[in-house]
Amino acid sequence: MAEKKKATTKAKPTTKAKPTTKKEDVADAANKIWKAGLGALRTAEEEGSRIFKSLMKKGEDFQNSSRKGSQKQIDKVSKIIKGGVGSVKGKLDDITDQKEGLWEVLKLEDAFTSVMKTFGVATNKEIDILKKKIDAISKAVNELRGDSQKPPVKK
């Protein structure tokens, strides 16, 4: 068998870089930074309007969804308030009706009391005062008689 020789490629001779000074290194770095800044500016110009439009769209979507959520909450609160106002109004009407009915009862009681006084019938308050006076007189009589009996128990 015949052996094939591999072709060897010889490396091209490289030129050796000259030694650089610090001043040249700084100038080179500054040049690279300047070019990167220009590239960033160019990219911002090209991509900026597209990104701006995208951000506007996202902001608009967020605003619309927030408004919808807020409106739902406002509607719920409005329903609660409207229901509460109706309920309060109904209760006020009930109280007003009760007050008017109570006023009629009070007028009737005043008229009845007036009639009872006309006929000379004593009121409960007058009867209670008389009971207390009778108890005091009974106690005084018992003390004078020398009885150690207690006044009758009230029923």
pLDDT in tens, 48-64: 777 778 878 888 888 88
Assign 5 a pLDDT band (cuts: 50, 70, 90): low
Element (H, E) at 102: helix 22-118
- 26-64: buried (b, 16+ CB within 10 Å) or exposed (e) per residue? eeeeeeeeeeeeeeeeeeeeeeeeeeeeeeeeeeeeeee
**Domain-located, residue 1:** no
Element (H, E) at 55: helix 22-118
**Domain-located, residue 91:** yes
Residue pair 130/122 in contact by the 8 Å Cβ criterion: yes
Rounded Cα distance, 74 and 134, in Å = 72
Q: What is the pLDDT of residue 16?
A: 59
Q: Which domain holds residue 80?
A: 25-103
Inform me whether the pLDDT recorded for 45 exceeds 80: no
Q: What is the pLDDT of residue 17?
A: 58
Q: What is the pLDDT of residue 131?
A: 92
**Domain-located, residue 74:** yes
Tell me the pLDDT tens digit for each residue of 125-139. Answer: 888 999 999 999 999
Rounded Cα distance, 16 and 92, in Å = 103
**Domain-located, residue 17:** no
- Between CA 104 and CA 112, with CA 109 as vertex, the angle to 5 degrees is 125
Q: Which two tokens stand for residue 81?
A: 């308030």
**Domain-located, residue 69:** yes
Rounded Cα distance, 94 and 109, in Å = 22
Residue pair 138/153 in contact by the 8 Å Cβ criterion: no
| Mean pLDDT, rounded, for 79-95 | 72
Total domains, the chain = 1
**Domain-located, residue 129:** no
Is the model's pTM score more than 0.85? no
Tell me the pLDDT tens digit for each residue of 19-38. Answer: 678 888 898 999 999 899 88
**Domain-located, residue 29:** yes
**Domain-located, residue 108:** no
